[in-house]
Amino acid sequence: MNLDSALKLAAEEFKKIDWKDIASRSGAIVTPESIRVEYLNRSYCLRLPDAEWEGEVSSREKLLILHYLINSKGTPLSGKLIDFREFPGGNVYYPVFEARACRPFLKYFGKNQPLLLKAALALKGSQQELGDFSVNIPVFPRVGIIFIVYRGDEELAPTAKILFDSSVSEYLDTEDVTAVCEDACRSLIRQRNG
């Protein structure tokens, strides 16, 4: 399914859900006139009842935000971290995930953790205590991504790992997780270069 068709389908599905429940399930701010949700430290607004987007929003962002709002179940954080391969179909899709998220992240931050922390803080992220260096980036109000760097040594190159709270599958499907990781990585790189 192409992006336009997927977006049209998501918009139709979104219009059928009870908007009042969205706030409690997703952490979005809902008023009678609008729904506001944070995505990677940027606020997005849908005007109700027609779900018209305020401001300039890409089709990809619209789709990811709609999927998040539609699929949010309000599940609290479990505290159990999982790897992408633990998602349904994650093992099969892992090479694509690695190419679109892990490798770009490692290229820019594998040898420069101070810049990673600076970029993460600009996105309202926080430092974590995993690997040699790690940060948690809030993607949506109830979804975060943990980026981990292992520095390596003279014999081993740096490596990276990306983890999620296991509750993420109650908010996003496997394909959406790949897309938000890719967006989070790009946002970190933009902050690094900014």
Q: Are residues 60 and 96 in the same domain?
A: no
CB of 103 closer than 8 Å to CB of 153 = no
Q: How far out from the chain centre does Cα 6 lie? A: 18
Q: Is residue 27 part of a domain?
A: yes
pTM of the model as a whole: 0.92
N-terminal to C-terminal alpha carbon distance within the chain:
35
Rg (CA), the chain: 17
Tokens of 174: 């496997």
pLDDT at residue 184 in the model: 96
- Please report whether residue 18 resides in a domain: yes
pLDDT at residue 35, rounded to an integer: 94
At residue 41, the pLDDT reads: 94
Are 138 and 59 part of one and the same domain?
A: no
Number of domains in the chain: 2
Q: Which of 44, 71, 98 is the last residue of a domain?
A: 71
Residue 50 within a domain? yes
Tell me, what's the pLDDT at 66? 96
Report the candidate in 90, 110, 96 with the shortest Cα–Cα distance to residue 161.
110
Domain that holds residue 135: 81-193
Same domain, 15 and 43: yes
Return the structure tokens found at 110: 């594998």
CA distance 118 to 192: 7
Q: What angle do CA 49, 60, 127 make, to 5 degrees?
A: 105
pLDDT of 177: 95
The neighbour count for residue 98, using CB atoms within 10 Å, is: 16
Per-residue confidence (pLDDT) for residue 194, from 0 to 100: 62
CB 77 within 8 A of CB 138: no
Q: Which residues of the chain have pLDDT under 70?
A: 1, 193-194
In a domain, 76, yes or no: no
Residues 127 and 178 in one domain: yes
